[in-house]
Amino acid sequence: MSVITVTTTTVVVATTSLGITAALSVIGTWILIFALIAKELSSAYENEVYNPLVKERLKSLTGSLAITIVPMLIIFALIVAVKVMEILSP
Protein backbone atom coordinates (compact mmCIF):
# COMPACT_ATOMS: atom_id res chain seq x y z
CA MET A 1 0.00 0.00 0.00
CA SER A 2 1.43 3.34 -0.94
CA VAL A 3 1.68 6.42 1.25
CA ILE A 4 -0.81 8.28 -0.95
CA THR A 5 -3.45 5.58 -0.53
CA VAL A 6 -3.03 5.52 3.25
CA THR A 7 -3.17 9.31 3.44
CA THR A 8 -6.25 9.46 1.23
CA THR A 9 -8.00 6.79 3.29
CA THR A 10 -7.15 8.63 6.51
CA VAL A 11 -8.48 11.93 5.17
CA VAL A 12 -11.72 10.31 3.96
CA VAL A 13 -12.31 8.55 7.28
CA ALA A 14 -11.56 11.73 9.27
CA THR A 15 -13.85 13.84 7.08
CA THR A 16 -16.67 11.31 7.32
CA SER A 17 -16.30 11.11 11.10
CA LEU A 18 -16.39 14.88 11.45
CA GLY A 19 -19.43 15.08 9.19
CA ILE A 20 -21.30 12.51 11.25
CA THR A 21 -20.30 14.25 14.49
CA ALA A 22 -21.50 17.60 13.21
CA ALA A 23 -24.80 16.11 12.06
CA LEU A 24 -25.36 14.40 15.40
CA SER A 25 -24.53 17.64 17.21
CA VAL A 26 -27.13 19.52 15.20
CA ILE A 27 -29.75 16.80 15.67
CA GLY A 28 -29.09 16.64 19.41
CA THR A 29 -29.37 20.41 19.74
CA TRP A 30 -32.71 20.44 17.91
CA ILE A 31 -34.04 17.61 20.06
CA LEU A 32 -33.03 19.57 23.16
CA ILE A 33 -34.77 22.70 21.88
CA PHE A 34 -37.99 20.81 21.09
CA ALA A 35 -37.92 19.03 24.47
CA LEU A 36 -37.49 22.34 26.30
CA ILE A 37 -40.38 23.87 24.36
CA ALA A 38 -42.62 20.85 25.00
CA LYS A 39 -41.80 20.88 28.72
CA GLU A 40 -42.54 24.57 29.01
CA LEU A 41 -45.84 24.25 27.15
CA SER A 42 -46.98 21.20 29.13
CA SER A 43 -46.11 22.78 32.48
CA ALA A 44 -47.87 26.03 31.53
CA TYR A 45 -51.00 24.21 30.35
CA GLU A 46 -50.96 21.95 33.42
CA ASN A 47 -52.01 24.88 35.64
CA GLU A 48 -54.97 25.79 33.44
CA VAL A 49 -56.64 22.41 32.93
CA TYR A 50 -59.36 21.26 35.33
CA ASN A 51 -59.80 17.65 34.24
CA PRO A 52 -57.88 15.51 36.78
CA LEU A 53 -57.00 12.82 34.24
CA VAL A 54 -55.52 15.33 31.79
CA LYS A 55 -53.74 17.13 34.63
CA GLU A 56 -52.13 13.87 35.79
CA ARG A 57 -51.01 13.04 32.24
CA LEU A 58 -49.51 16.50 31.83
CA LYS A 59 -47.60 16.10 35.11
CA SER A 60 -46.31 12.77 33.88
CA LEU A 61 -45.26 14.29 30.54
CA THR A 62 -43.52 17.19 32.27
CA GLY A 63 -41.61 14.78 34.53
CA SER A 64 -40.60 12.57 31.62
CA LEU A 65 -39.37 15.56 29.66
CA ALA A 66 -37.37 16.75 32.66
CA ILE A 67 -35.65 13.36 32.83
CA THR A 68 -34.88 13.59 29.10
CA ILE A 69 -33.63 17.18 29.22
CA VAL A 70 -30.91 16.72 31.86
CA PRO A 71 -28.70 14.34 29.82
CA MET A 72 -29.32 16.42 26.70
CA LEU A 73 -28.08 19.53 28.55
CA ILE A 74 -24.93 17.66 29.57
CA ILE A 75 -24.35 16.62 25.96
CA PHE A 76 -24.99 20.18 24.77
CA ALA A 77 -22.48 21.54 27.30
CA LEU A 78 -19.94 18.98 26.06
CA ILE A 79 -20.56 20.03 22.44
CA VAL A 80 -20.05 23.69 23.34
CA ALA A 81 -16.88 22.89 25.31
CA VAL A 82 -15.41 20.95 22.37
CA LYS A 83 -16.24 23.76 19.93
CA VAL A 84 -14.67 26.36 22.21
CA MET A 85 -11.55 24.22 22.57
CA GLU A 86 -11.37 23.88 18.76
CA ILE A 87 -11.53 27.64 18.39
CA LEU A 88 -8.97 28.36 21.10
CA SER A 89 -6.45 25.71 20.06
CA PRO A 90 -3.58 27.05 17.93
CA atoms within 13 A on the CB side of 77: 6
Distance CA(38)–CA(16), nearest Å, equals: 33
pLDDT tens digits, 20-64 = 777 777 888 888 899 999 999 888 887 888 888 888 888 888 888
Q: Per-residue pLDDT for 8 more than 70?
A: no
Q: How much is the pTM?
A: 0.68
In what helix (H) or strand (E) does residue 73 lie, and over which residues does it extend?
helix 52-88
pLDDT of res. 16: 55
Distance CA(63)–CA(72), nearest Å, equals: 15
